[in-house]
Every structure is written in structure tokens, then in C-alpha cells.
Chains A and B, each alone.
Chain A
């Protein structure tokens, strides 16, 4: 319920915000572009997995010290610890980095970010990220359009970086007015109250502006203009250091568990460092004074002293946290476990029923029926048809026609996790159970059930193959081909619906024979042939090209096999008559060849 309401609420709130404030719109667009950049960057790095990038990364991050060096260097060059942390998250998510090395990079990035304070305080220089965005985007998109895998990957990386820069630029732009409106001198406070308050302001400003550099620039400018006291400026610098983690947290939202772990490590490191700096601010000020005197910084040059302070507390943070990296990794792994893909587990198969042949046969039957039910869901999803199809009053044709949107489910994943896993468990149970090697009707039944399971698996596989072209042609501009694919969807859905109806009748009247599904086999053959004949006409009249036609011919065959497999499985599974009657009926149920003979006489 909450999930259903979440999207409309978020959309309405955003819409209202856009209408209310142009700056909010710019900031939101910045966040969106930034997140898109993250996705693009990850996509790009993934193409380099197993290649040169892996080697460079491995050699430059083979130890914690090297990782830290990598972090310091890249942050100093890029002048953005946020960018380095999001890139590190994407490296980590792509599996190019170990969590320990990634944490090393983050520690290094924190130290690297202090070079910014030195540059601004010392030379008033600052690399403008937004200036790089446009050329990066242009070069990136050109490369993305190339066929070669490496060029495409490089294109995604460049475009991703471009989007990141652009996103940060828009975010900064949106908050510009906000930043200009802050008059820090009015808020000058002394003592620990002042330190905490200004650290809070620093955090808030960095979160809002998405850049610790921006906060530092403001702080240094304010300090130079004596708008803010030296003590409060140090607190602002501490706050900016803590606030910068928000970028990594936003970046981690779109990445996997490892990305979230790294964002967690980043947050813990910066919070610890911040806390140490706040609590020991007066002692640190004395150390800064001592260092400044020794390196020749004038006693009244507070801006450079701020840079010294910034570097000092980050170094202290690293010294404190470095020995704690291993326990930190362990804690994060425990707090944020990797979600194992949910594998379908058997519900009816248990060791208790293994030794009793009849109980085992019943358990296998129930489990295979369950496998069928799960497969029906996978098949309907695969055909992009809504599950309401099985409501008695719904007409199959109408529901298929209405289901125009592709249902975005990973059928391969569902097949592996649900269908194959469950069928594997059934086969294993049959092999290990007494009934599996018993004689007579029980063995016959077990073998039939195993066959039914195989039919179900084949049916899902058929839809898996069919889906590839189905998704392509369902929304094709060529109405003829999309109509033909709708016929295939309808045929499979019709078979599922007929089986469902027959199953309901069989449940209420056990005397009804499973042989009743034989007419459905005839129906499948007649309809498949009709679709094939229709295809010939479409080719003759140039309504579809030969490539479409060959794809469609293959898909008719997948569709036909799927239908047959479903009927064969249902014939075994949904008969409620005695074991003897079932066996008798199965021995005279018609096969493909016999159905073909009937068609010939028609």
C-alpha cells in the first residue's frame, strides 16, 4: 500500500516544488543528472572488467597505502572528493575493487581534498568542474555510438563524468542564491556551543551545495573578510568534511550492497574524524600554531592556518582509523549483508516422505503441480500478459490485446532461480526416494511426473526464446508482425486458460478423464498451421521482410512446443482419478503424430 502511494506522493511533491521554485527545479534536475551520470559511469567501467582497467586498478590499489595514495592523487587532480568517492563506489559495484582497497581510496580522498583548501587559501585557484562537462558529454556520446566495446565503454565513462560534473554544476547553481544569502558574521559564537553550531552549519551547507569545496571557499572568503571568527571557520571546515559524505550516500543509492558498505565506511570515517576534531579543537589550534610557525606561515594568516588545520585533522582521522579498517569491513559486511538471490525451495518434498513410496509419490505430484503454477506466472510475465487473464469472466483475446506494455521481468533469472532450482529438487528427490526405484505403477507414476516436470521446464524455455523477438516486435511499427506475435501470445494463453478450466472441472468431478485435453492438442496444431499459412501470405504481399519471417517461423515452433509441453504436463498432473485409471488414460492419450493424422483426414 505504502509502496503504491510512494511514487504518486513523490511525483506530486516534486511537481509542486517545481511549480513553487525555479531553484528547486534546478537542484532536482542536478540530482537526477548526477544519478544518471553514476549509472552511465558504472556501465562504462563494467565494459572494462577483466581488461586493462582491472590491471591498473589492481597495481595501484594492491595495498592500503597504495589505495590511499591513489585516493590522494586522484582527488588532488580532480579537486573533488565527492567525485572520487562516487567513482570508487562504481568501481566497487562493478567488482573491480575490494572493499578494503576502496576504503583506502576514500581515506586518501579525504586527505586529497585538503589540497583544495591549500589552493584556495594560497592561490585562490579552483578548478571549475562544470567547464569540463560539455566537452566530456560530446566526446562521450560520440564514443558511445561506436561499435567497438572498449570505445563504447570509454564513451559511457566520459559521458558519465560529464553528467556528474553537470549534475554538481546544476546543484551548485540552484543553491547559489542560498549560498550568497548567508552572512556568517551575524552568527559568530564562542566556546563549544559555537563549534557545534558552526559544524552543523558546515554540514548543512555542504549537503545543500553538494560540495565541501564550495563550503570551504565560502568559509575562506568569509574568514579573509573577517566575517567569521577563526574558531568558527575551523568548525565550518569540520562540518564540510562530514557533510561531503552525502554525495557518496546519494551515489550509493543506485549501487549495490558493496557501494552502500563503502558509503557507510565513508560516513563512519568522516564522522569519527569530525568528532575528534570538534572535541580536540583547542588542542589542534595550538598544534596548528606550532606547525605554522615552523613552516613559515604568518601568525595572522588565518586562511592558510585553516588549510593546515584541515590537513591536520584529516591526517589524525587516518591515523586513528587505519588500524580499524579490518574490523570496520567486518562490521559493514555484517550490517549490510549481500542479499542472496531467492531460490525457490520445495514445499512438499521432505525426508519424512522419502521412505514411504505412496507419500513420496504424492509429495512429488504436489511439488510438480506447484512447479506448474509458478511456471504459469513466469510464462504470463514472459508473454507480457497480466495475471487477470485467469479470471473466469475475462476473455483471453481481449486481455492479450489489452496487455500492450512489455512486463519488465528478468525471465532468465526467474527460470534459473525458480523453475530450474525447483525442478532440480524434484529430480533429486525422485532419485533418492524409494519410489524412484520401485516397480510397477508407482515407478510409472514417478517417471510420468518427472516427465511432466521436464515438460514444464521446456515450456518456460520456449517462452524464454520466444520473448526475445516478442519484445522486439510487440511494439513494432509494422502492424502485421506485431499482430502475428499477438496470435502466438494468444495461442499460449488460450492453452493455459483451457488447462485451467479443465483443471477446475476435474477438481469438482474426478470422473472426468484427462483424455479431455486431446482436443486441445488438435486445436494447437490447427491454429499453428493457420498462423504458418498466414505468414506465407504476408511474405508474398511484402507486408513483412524475410528476416522477420524467419524469426517468426522459429517462434511459431517455440510457441507450438510450449503449448504441447503444457498440455502434456497437465495431462499427467491434473487427473484426480485412481493411479490405474491415470495409467490407462496416459497410455491412450494421442501424441503429435496421431493428432497430425487426424488433421490430414479433415
Chain B
């Protein structure tokens, strides 16, 4: 852990708002990771599915996960920016 990370942790403990921001950032990363895993799993499922209706279902689900990830990445970027400005 370098000095910057240590300072970040300390600031997080001392400042309530900053602490909440860090926790949200962490949660968002966790959710995005879960969404990425779901996307990979859906892509694999799509490759192995021949039934047209099932394929349509998986495709729309895939589109939703992609859109959610896209939105999540934008939020993550904003959070990152806010953190940078504060430090």
C-alpha cells in the first residue's frame, strides 16, 4: 500500500461523506464485475442455444446487461473524478 492509498483510507475514515463515496465506489465496482460475469455467461449461453425464442430472450437480456454496464461505467467514472477533485 503506497502513501497515496494510505492517505485515501485515512481521509475515508475521518470524513463521513468521503467514506460513503468510497463505499459506493467499491459497491459499484462489485456490481459491474457481477454484470461483466453475467454478460460473459449470457454470451456463452447464446452460442450454445439454437431455439429462436430462447435466443431472442438471451439477446434482449444481453442488451439490458450491456446497457446497465454502460450506465454503471459512466457513474463509476464520475465518482472517480469526484474523488480525484477532492484529493
Q: Is A515 an interface residue (CB 8 A)?
A: yes
Q: Which of B30, B67, B71 gathers the greatest number of chain A CB atoms within 10 Å? A: B67
Q: Which of A583-602 contact B (CB under 8 A)?
A: 583-585, 587-590, 594, 597-598, 601-602
Are B20 and A441 in contact, CB atoms less than 8 angstroms apart? Answer: yes
What B residues does A580 contact at CB under 8 A? Answer: 23-24, 26-27
Are A588 and B64 in contact, CB atoms less than 8 angstroms apart? Answer: no
Bound form: Cα–Cα A601–B60 in Å? 10
Are A581 and B30 in contact, CB atoms less than 8 angstroms apart? Answer: yes
A523: nearest chain-B partner, CB-CB: B60
Whole-angstrom distance between the Cβ of B61 and the nearest chain A Cβ: 6
Q: Which of A519, A583, A587, A589 contacts B61 (CB 8 A)?
A: A519
Bound form: Cα–Cα A522–B60 in Å? 8
What A residues does B28 contact at CB under 8 A? Answer: 584, 587-588
Are B64 and A590 in contact, CB atoms less than 8 angstroms apart? Answer: yes
Whole-angstrom distance between the Cβ of B25 and the nearest chain A Cβ: 9
Bound form: Cα–Cα A519–B35 in Å? 14
Q: Which of B1-59 contact A (CB under 8 A)?
A: 16-17, 20, 23-24, 26-28, 30-31, 34-35
Are B68 and A590 in contact, CB atoms less than 8 angstroms apart? Answer: yes
Are B67 and A598 in contact, CB atoms less than 8 angstroms apart? Answer: yes
Q: Which of B26, B27, B71, B72 gathers the greatest number of chain A CB atoms within 10 Å? A: B27
Whole-angstrom distance between the Cβ of B84 and the nearest chain A Cβ: 19
Q: Is B80 an interface residue (CB 8 A)?
A: no
Bound form: Cα–Cα A522–B23 in Å? 30
Q: Is A3 an interface residue (CB 8 A)?
A: no
Are B31 and A585 in contact, CB atoms less than 8 angstroms apart? Answer: yes
Whole-angstrom distance between the Cβ of B43 and the nearest chain A Cβ: 16
Q: Which of B20, B26, B31 contacts A588 (CB 8 A)?
A: B31
A588-B72 contact in complex given A519-B64, A522-B64, C-beta closer than 8 Å: yes
Q: Is A440 an interface residue (CB 8 A)?
A: yes
Are A602 and B68 in contact, CB atoms less than 8 angstroms apart? Answer: no
Are B24 and A590 in contact, CB atoms less than 8 angstroms apart? Answer: no
Bound form: Cα–Cα A513–B65 in Å? 12
Range class of the B interface residue count: 20 to 34
A440-B20 contact in complex given A587-B28, A587-B75, A588-B75, C-beta closer than 8 Å: yes
What B residues does A597 contact at CB under 8 A? Answer: 67
A588-B63 contact in complex given A578-B27, A581-B27, A583-B24, C-beta closer than 8 Å: no
A602: nearest chain-B partner, CB-CB: B60
Bound form: Cα–Cα A579–B56 in Å? 34
Are B17 and A439 in contact, CB atoms less than 8 angstroms apart? Answer: yes
What A residues does B27 contact at CB under 8 A? Answer: 578, 580-581, 583-584
Whole-angstrom distance between the Cβ of A141 and the nearest chain B Cβ: 59
Are B63 and A601 in contact, CB atoms less than 8 angstroms apart? Answer: yes
A585: nearest chain-B partner, CB-CB: B31
Bound form: Cα–Cα A589–B63 in Å? 13
Are B68 and A598 in contact, CB atoms less than 8 angstroms apart? Answer: no
B21: nearest chain-A partner, CB-CB: A440
Q: Which of B23, B26, B71, B75 contacts A590 (CB 8 A)?
A: B71
Q: Is A518 an interface residue (CB 8 A)?
A: yes
Q: Which of A478-523 contact B (CB under 8 A)?
A: 513, 515, 518-519, 522
What B residues does A519 contact at CB under 8 A? Answer: 60-61, 64
Bound form: Cα–Cα A440–B26 in Å? 16
What B residues does A439 contact at CB under 8 A? Answer: 16-17
Are A594 and B67 in contact, CB atoms less than 8 angstroms apart? Answer: yes
What B residues does A578 contact at CB under 8 A? Answer: 27
What A residues does B75 contact at CB under 8 A? Answer: 587-588
What A residues does B26 contact at CB under 8 A? Answer: 580
What A residues does B72 contact at CB under 8 A? Answer: 584, 587-588
B73: nearest chain-A partner, CB-CB: A588
Whole-angstrom distance between the Cβ of B8 and the nearest chain A Cβ: 17
A598-B16 contact in complex given A513-B31, A580-B27, A584-B24, C-beta closer than 8 Å: no
What A residues does B64 contact at CB under 8 A? Answer: 518-519, 522, 590, 598
B68: nearest chain-A partner, CB-CB: A588
What B residues does A588 contact at CB under 8 A? Answer: 28, 31, 68, 71-72, 75
A598-B60 contact in complex given A518-B68, A580-B26, C-beta closer than 8 Å: yes
Are A440 and B67 in contact, CB atoms less than 8 angstroms apart? Answer: no
Interface string of A414-454 (1 = CB under 8 A from B): 00000000000000000000000001110000000000000
What A residues does B60 contact at CB under 8 A? Answer: 519, 522, 598, 602
What A residues does B24 contact at CB under 8 A? Answer: 441, 580, 583-584
What B residues does A583 contact at CB under 8 A? Answer: 24, 27
Whole-angstrom distance between the Cβ of A384 and the nearest chain B Cβ: 31
A442: nearest chain-B partner, CB-CB: B20
Are A590 and B31 in contact, CB atoms less than 8 angstroms apart? Answer: no
Are B63 and A515 in contact, CB atoms less than 8 angstroms apart? Answer: no
What B residues does A594 contact at CB under 8 A? Answer: 67, 71
Apart from A587-B75, A588-B68: 13 A-B pairs, beta carbons within 8 A: A440-B20, A518-B68, A519-B60, A519-B64, A580-B26, A580-B27, A584-B30, A584-B31, A588-B75, A590-B71, A598-B64, A598-B67, A602-B60
A sample of 30 cross-chain residue pairs with beta-carbon separation below 8 angstroms, ordered by A number, consists of A439-B16, A439-B17, A440-B16, A440-B20, A441-B20, A513-B31, A513-B34, A515-B31, A518-B68, A519-B64, A580-B23, A580-B27, A581-B27, A581-B30, A583-B27, A584-B24, A584-B30, A584-B31, A585-B31, A587-B28, A587-B72, A587-B75, A588-B31, A588-B71, A590-B67, A594-B67, A597-B67, A598-B64, A598-B67, A601-B63
Q: Which residues of A contact B (CB under 8 A)?
A: 439-441, 513, 515, 518-519, 522, 578, 580-581, 583-585, 587-590, 594, 597-598, 601-602
Q: Which residues of B contact A (CB under 8 A)?
A: 16-17, 20, 23-24, 26-28, 30-31, 34-35, 60-61, 63-64, 67-68, 71-72, 75
